[in-house]
Amino acid sequence: MSERVLVALSGGVDSAVAAALLVEQGHDVVGVHLRLADVPDARPGKGCCGLDDAQDARRSAQVLGIPFHVWDLREVFRREVQEPFAAAYAAGRTPNPCVTCNAAVKVGAVLRRATALGFDALATGHHARVEQRGGRWVLVRAADRAKDQSYVLHVHGPDELARLRTPVGWHAKDAVRALAADRGLRVAAKPDSYDVCFVPDGDTAGHLAGRLEPAPGEVVDLDGSVLGSHEGTWRYTVGQRRGLGLSHHQRRFVVDVDPAARRVVVGPRDALACRWLEVDAPIDQVGDLDGRKVLVQVRAHGRPVPGVVRRDAAGGWRTELEEPLHGVAVGQSAVLYDRDDDVVLAGGAITAAQRPLLPVAR
């Protein structure tokens, strides 16, 4: 059945091919580029908000012969993504802005506006599969596991998934590029975007330095001994190894960040081993998970590890891991997958995780 579909054209190859596939399937397709942040120095593969990206999106729409619009969502992006990003670091959490952006902006706000304008569905270039199984819409890993983006879409429940289309999720990345080349799309060889779009140089600490006040404190080892100093705990995240400025004879990693005490705790890699994590008020896609064996993933392209879910009285859950995860930070998203068929079962922000014995403040 033909649908009226709004396609979010980022300026990259995946969204362009998503639009092309929908046009060829006979749908009424309209392209829209989202202006989210002003990043004048963005380079190919470094974000998706530069002027070149908007121009590439427009050219792709022209090649496909579809209407094209630009929506200015900078204010909602600033309010819903950029400000919470800085606030999370200030509070000692490690946020995932891509998850937040999809929830509040790229899918959330855009889907609501598309529905109000009479569109049947929103399509994106995400490598993930939205399928209907047993009368219920579910999110499934992409055919190309190396490019899978189901992690950042876990925040969307069945009602939103019913109106979300992800055509490239059934294709390997090499095949997507070949499809683009065959259709004369100039973005066929354009590099993928990997960094946070509003921090295209990858320097999160530098980005935050212009938004958060310095708050000097101590860098301490697990035994409480002072190893150095810092200018703000927001410059650090659990699992970080580079940029610590320490001369310790052994490699040290950040194992805890305490903004209230202005303290950064470091230790050996073994101190990062986590055997359980908790999520408060998770987005549950399939109903009761208590006792279910799952795969747990805490980074967009992290290695999933097996675990068992235990529901708590407050409605959140603890996942007991069958093997340790390293570098688990409060604020990260934990996404649970079915062990057998790659379906997303639930997900949410981590509120607690196993920690080593931390030093007593002196």
> In this predicted model, what pLDDT tens digit does every residue of 318-353 receive, in sequence order?
999 999 999 899 999 999 999 999 999 999 999 999
| pLDDT number for residue 355 | 67
- From 48, 49, 98, 101, the catalytic residue: 101
Terminal Cα distance for the chain, rounded: 68
Query: Which residue's structure tokens are 């579910």?
Result: 138
49 has catalytic annotation: no
* Closest by Cα among 70, 47, 23 to 167: 23
pTM for the model: 0.91
197 has catalytic annotation: yes
| pLDDT number for residue 130 | 97
| pLDDT number for residue 10 | 95
Burial of 37 (0-12, 13-18, 19+ CB in 10 A): buried
Which residue type occupies 26?
A: G
Q: Which two tokens stand for residue 205?
A: 């600490």
| pLDDT number for residue 162 | 96
Q: Which domains does the chain have, with CATH numbers?
A: 4-189 (3.40.50.620), 214-267 (2.30.30.280), 272-353 (2.40.30.10)
* Range from 36-40, 48-52, 108-112, 226-230 carrying the lowest mean pLDDT: 48-52
Which residue type occupies 251?
A: R
Average pLDDT rounded to a whole number, residues 296-311: 93
* Range from 59-63, 72-76, 144-148, 210-214 carrying the lowest mean pLDDT: 210-214
Query: Which residue's structure tokens are 């590890």?
Result: 305
Order of strands across the sheet with 226-230?
Answer: 226-230, 217-220, 263-267, 253-258
- From 48, 98, 197, 274, the catalytic residue: 197
343 with 140: CB under 8 angstroms? yes
**Calpha distance 169→111 (Å, rounded):** 19
Average pLDDT, rounded, for the chain? 90
How far is C-alpha 260 from the chain's CA centre? Answer: 27
Which residue type occupies 233?
A: T
